A and B are shown apart, each in its own frame.
Chain A
Amino acid sequence: MKSTLTDKVPLRRIGQYGIFLALVLICLVLALITPKFLTVPNLTIIVTQVSINALLAFGVTFVIITGGIDLSLGSMVAVTGVVAASFAHPDTYPLVVPLAMGLLAGVLIGAFNGFVITKSKVPPFIVTLGTMTIGRGLALILSKGRPISNLSDTFNFIGGGKVLGVPFPILVLVVAFVSCSVILRKTVLGRYMYAVGGNEQAARASGIDVSKVKMWVYTLSGGLAALAGIVLTSRITTGQPNAGVGFELNAIAAAIIGGTSTSGGTGTMAGTLIGALLIGVISNGLDLLNVTSYYQQVAMGVIIIGAVVLDSFNRTSAS
């Protein structure tokens, strides 16, 4: 077990390096084409925009490392956003209430995913596909199909406020990144995640409580999705029941671009962050260059495939 883990580490590093190079390369090209790209305000905007996808991507990285998948992310963004917004009207509850209720909603849905997956042995793809629909329905039921607006200024600070010139979502992103990296790299739970994803049978044989690890990753994913939902709701100052449609795909893409293998057992938070930044930079760059919507979608796909191909090319040449 130990030996396969350490064997994979240098390979992962190189892979991550490759995707980092791709990011730098695209930034350089954009900086050369348009002077508007490499400015502090623009880079700040990119990171702010990326924060929501990155939070979701961190959660799904845990899940994918254990060999699972979470398709309910986008719906969880909607439910948690709607729940938080319901408690965030001015002069009703103190700020902790909408935050706690939103997080609780995400954690509960995540734990539900983990519970069904570990108890029933139904593939995570199917379980979280079900939760995706349930979540969307819940968001519509709770909001009666209408956006929940008129939120307090303190709540709106989370998505729109600045601390010492730094937008608050960026601070949330940094704290989440550091925490997730620590969980993954420095804790027993993190090591178990790699073990479960690398070889579930072997992990079980070596005494790891596989079900417990899985409960943890889906719950973490739910909690991070709630954080994303709260940031999004605060950013647009409304709880939208139809928010977050398709968000899971961008989050999964960020993790995979960042070197997390869909077969489980590999992946880092740094890689995922770079993957999310790459998607954000491309989207921003294409807007700056005023590329029309039709071409944007094609260009985005081509660049994502290109980045991953470059990455796998790097890996094979290294080994």
Chain B
Amino acid sequence: MKRLPITILAATALLGTFFTGCNRGDESGSKLTVGVSMLSMQNEFIVNVSDEMEKKAKELGVELVVVDAERSALKQVEQIESFVAQQVDAIIMNPCEVEASSPAVTRALAANIPIINVNSETKTQPTAFVGSDDVESARIAMRYIAERLGGRGNVIMIHGYMGQAAQLKREQGAREILQNYPGLKLIAHQSGEWDRSKSMSLMENWIQSYGGQINAVFAQNDEMGMGAVKALTAAGLKDKVVVVSIDAIPDALDAVKKGTLDATVFQNAEQQGARAVETALKAAKGEAFDKQVLIPFELVTKENVAQYLK
């Protein structure tokens, strides 16, 4: 679906070079075009960021061409290469990998096209970065657990896909806080592969081996947090276990409102999407812009959940 616009754009760009080779300059007053390559349109948060970009682009009168890299860094690099070939005015990339997506940044910069990384980073420095620091999100979540447990208790951590940037950073942040609280003991940790049903099964098995010893669960995303909540509720243990996860997807916000999920960490898709488009536009026009736009995370609990529910 998402590939159709790019094909059309590629075709028009090609035709453009043939028939109206010097027309580009005349169009300088009209719409700017920004090429966008997203990590995966199968991920709800990423879809939200993309939707917010479209909204902002419409508001600012920018033409946005969004393509889906389907989690493949190779594909992403190729997409950026075709954006370069089409001579878009700026590129926004939501990188698949820290290392493997870096060549895309190099290609864009070599062609003098500003490239803005959104949501996650690449090793090669882009024109600007708009996003949040994943390590901090896990610190916020684990700090909340530490407070709720009074610094003492047994904690379980459910990882995302092992080795992915988000998993590594969220683990790092969680472990930093655990080190500050010697009373908190990490009794088990395992990958739930970002998946609700996988994480639910994992939690069911842990309930069998640890039962009442579990005091808190930190899941690295809401999908897995919801899976843990389901398993704990079915076992009649939810009231005794604090569950915290990250992302603040609508389902998780509902659960926080109902009190089944204790807290989630809000990553601001709207701000990330909007600021990325704004920064891309400024860079394309040669105006001043911030090289690093950090959008803060926010802890969502029952007390403040109302303001996040739309």
List residues of chain A with CB under 8 Å of any chain B CB: 34, 36, 39, 41-42, 45, 48-49, 52, 137, 140-141, 144-147, 149-150, 160, 232, 235-238, 240-243, 283-284, 287-288, 290, 292-294, 296
Contacts and interface: CB of A to CB of B under 8 A. Distances in A.
Contact of A235 (B41, B195, B200): B200
B206 A145 contact: no
Query: Which secondary structure dominates chain B's binding surface?
Result: helix
A235 B191 contact: no
A144 B195 CA distance: 18
Interface in B152-208: 159, 162, 188-191, 195-197, 200-202, 204-206, 208
B205 A45 contact: yes
A45 B195 CA distance: 18
Nearest to A42: B208
Contact of B209 (A36, A147, A236): A36
B230 A287 contact: no
Contacts of A49: 201, 204
B230 A237 contact: yes
Contacts of B78: none
Given A36-B208, A235-B197, A293 B162 contact: yes
Given A145-B44, A293-B159, A294-B162, A236 B200 contact: yes
B159 to A, nearest CB: 7
**What band does the interface of chain B fall in when counting residues whose beta carbon is under 8 Å from A?**
20 to 34
Nearest to A39: B208
B42 interface: yes
A287 B205 contact: yes
Q: Please give me the 9 A-B residue pairs with the lowest Cβ-Cβ distance, nearest first.
A: A287-B205, A293-B191, A42-B208, A288-B209, A145-B47, A236-B196, A242-B42, A149-B251, A36-B209
A144 B48 CA distance: 11
Given A237-B230, A292-B189, 16 more contacts: A42-B208, A52-B197, A140-B42, A145-B44, A147-B223, A149-B250, A149-B251, A149-B254, A160-B234, A238-B226, A240-B197, A287-B202, A287-B206, A288-B205, A293-B159, A294-B162
Nearest to A148: B251
A287 B200 contact: no
A241 B42 contact: yes
B196 A287 contact: no
Contacts of B126: none
A160 B233 CA distance: 11
B227 interface: yes
B188 A290 contact: yes
With most chain A CB atoms within 10 A of its CB, the pick from B41, B42, B200, B230 is B42
Nearest to B48: A146
A148 to B, nearest CB: 10
Contacts of A52: 197
13 contacts: A36-B209, A42-B208, A48-B204, A49-B201, A145-B44, A146-B47, A147-B223, A242-B42, A242-B43, A287-B206, A292-B190, A294-B162, A296-B190
B288 interface: no
B4 interface: no
Contacts of B202: 287
Contacts of B251: 147, 149, 238
Given A149-B251, A240-B196, A41 B208 contact: yes
